[in-house]
Amino acid sequence: MIVGWGVLKTLVMTLGHFVMTYVEDVQAWTERLGGGRLRGADASAARRRGIFTIQYPAERRALPEAYRNLPFFVIDAETSQLRCTACGICAQICPVQCIWIERATEPESGRPRRYPVSYYLDTSLCMTCGLCAEFCPFDAIKMDHDYEVAAYRRPGFVSAKELAKPESYDAELHPSAYGASSTASGDGESTED
């Protein structure tokens, strides 16, 4: 294998993207000079390619479905409660240890219950890696697309109630996950013998 092959492939790919921005702009410019209507004139700025400026508050680029920012906690549509069972996997897997969970206990026997009494996330430490959402066996944590989180003070500790959002919000952010589960369960075919 050639030494530095990966670096060379990356440079060629970057050069290709650079050249294509100008090719698409020249094609659009020639269409304008020819008096024709631009193909993408009706399309939003989120779908356009090439060198252009987005008028940010009015126009926004569409975020990919896999985009991740701070985590949020899913409120189950059927029970209207957090899906979290306080298993603690998210707190164990977090590389910066920014998640703290206190599990509920029964008052008489002291046995643990399947819901959290308190759940805190230190947003100033969170590096938005998404491991908590990936390893959660109950899909109780998902990664949000809200990137406008600027504030005049550091948010610090945020409780699960402040970061909780309904399941319908998650379905809007991740349509393929909900579409795949509905088609898999609705086709009636079984893989069992």
> Starting from the edge strand earliest in sequence, which strands make up the sheet with 71-75, in order?
141-143, 71-75, 164-166
Q: Are residues 137 and 105 in the same domain?
A: yes
Query: Are 30 and 110 in a shared domain?
Result: no
- Which of 15, 30, 62 delimits the end of a domain? 62
Taking the model in full, what pTM does it have?
A: 0.63
17 and 54, same domain (yes or no): yes
Q: Is residue 154 part of a domain?
A: yes
Q: What domain range includes position 4? A: 1-62
Q: Is residue 189 part of a domain?
A: no
Q: CA–CA separation, 149 vs 129, rounded Å?
A: 17
Alpha-carbon gap, residue 185 to 183, rounded angstroms: 6
**What order of strands is seen across the sheet that includes strand 157-159?**
99-105, 112-122, 157-159
Residues 34 and 96 in one domain: no
Q: What is the pLDDT of residues 95-129, one digit of tens each?
A: 999 999 999 998 888 888 888 888 889 888 899 99
What is the C-alpha separation between 178 and 78, in angstroms, rounded?
16
* Whether residue 89 has pLDDT greater than 90: yes
Q: What are the pLDDT digits (tens) for 127-186?
A: 999 999 999 999 999 999 988 877 787 777 788 778 899 999 999 988 888 875 444 444
- CA–CA gap between residue 140 and residue 72 (Å, rounded): 8
| Domain count along the chain | 2
Residue 16 lies in a domain: yes
77 and 110 belong to one structural domain: yes
